[in-house]
Amino acid sequence: KYFILNGQASGFIVDITRWVLTDMQYPASFKLLPWKRAYNNALKGRMAIIGLSKNSNRLKIFDYSHPLYFGSLMIVVKKGHEFDFQTVLDLQGKRIGASHGASYGDVFDQALLNKVFEVVPHENPAQGLKLVLNNRIDAVFIGPGIRGVKSFIDSDDSLNMDQFTVLTKPFKVDAKHLGIHKSLNMEAFIQRFNLSLEKAWSTGVVDKLIDNYD
């Protein structure tokens, strides 16, 4: 969902955000960073961050836009190593690949705290998929949806969809937002951002930008 194309940040969440900022006539630049570094910069108020999920702790730290996108966080396993997933307890004792420093909501955070499963961090989803193939982990969380899984597999010539199974039930359906540290007092900006974002949703712009990546 994030990559460099012709020297600039791309991906449909980037494109949605860029469209909204252009509609606002608000100049901005985009910088792609590993998630943990981007999040740490946002925590220090150095930059806004896009693709941010909500959890109870983050709600105390960040002001959030309306959702940029709703995406399913899929559970991907090695072909032949499928298991039934209905609740977080079905991950008991498993090693799960996830983006370094990521949080996927309060259910994920509480399960991690209770040691329901172990998280093995990776810097990018393709690396996580390779850990699955090499039996280093039992599954990897990737999104958004099947579209996201396929895009990361297609980005690496050593991977193909036939090597994996995407479990039917996602870990969660996750809303992704723009987040800005509360210390920056950007509530008025976020209100304006939300108005243009609502326009993008209501006029079909969001759907068109996403369809560009099919």
**101 and 144 housed in the same domain:** yes
Residue-range definition of the domain harbouring residue 134: 72-173
Q: Into how many domains does the chain fold?
A: 2
**106 and 49 housed in the same domain:** no
Rounded Cα distance, 204 and 115, in Å: 42
**170 token code pair:** 């996602």
**156 and 197 housed in the same domain:** no
**130 and 55 housed in the same domain:** no
CATH of the domain at 55: 3.40.190.10
**46 and 89 housed in the same domain:** no
**181 and 197 housed in the same domain:** yes
- What is the pTM (predicted TM-score) of this model? 0.73
Q: CA angle, corner 172, sides to 4 and 53, nearest 5?
A: 50
**103 and 169 housed in the same domain:** yes
H-helix segments, 25-99: 35-43
**96 and 181 housed in the same domain:** no
pLDDT tens for the chain, 214 residues long, are 566 666 778 788 999 999 999 999 999 999 988 888 999 999 999 999 999 999 899 999 999 999 998 889 999 999 999 999 999 999 999 999 998 877 888 899 999 999 999 999 998 899 999 999 999 999 999 988 888 899 889 888 999 999 999 999 999 998 999 999 999 999 999 999 999 999 999 999 999 998 887 6
**82 token code pair:** 């499928």
**50 and 96 housed in the same domain:** no
Q: Are 130 and 158 in contact (CB under 8 A)?
A: yes
Position 1 scores a pLDDT of 59
**158 and 184 housed in the same domain:** no
**85 and 117 housed in the same domain:** yes
**153 and 83 housed in the same domain:** yes
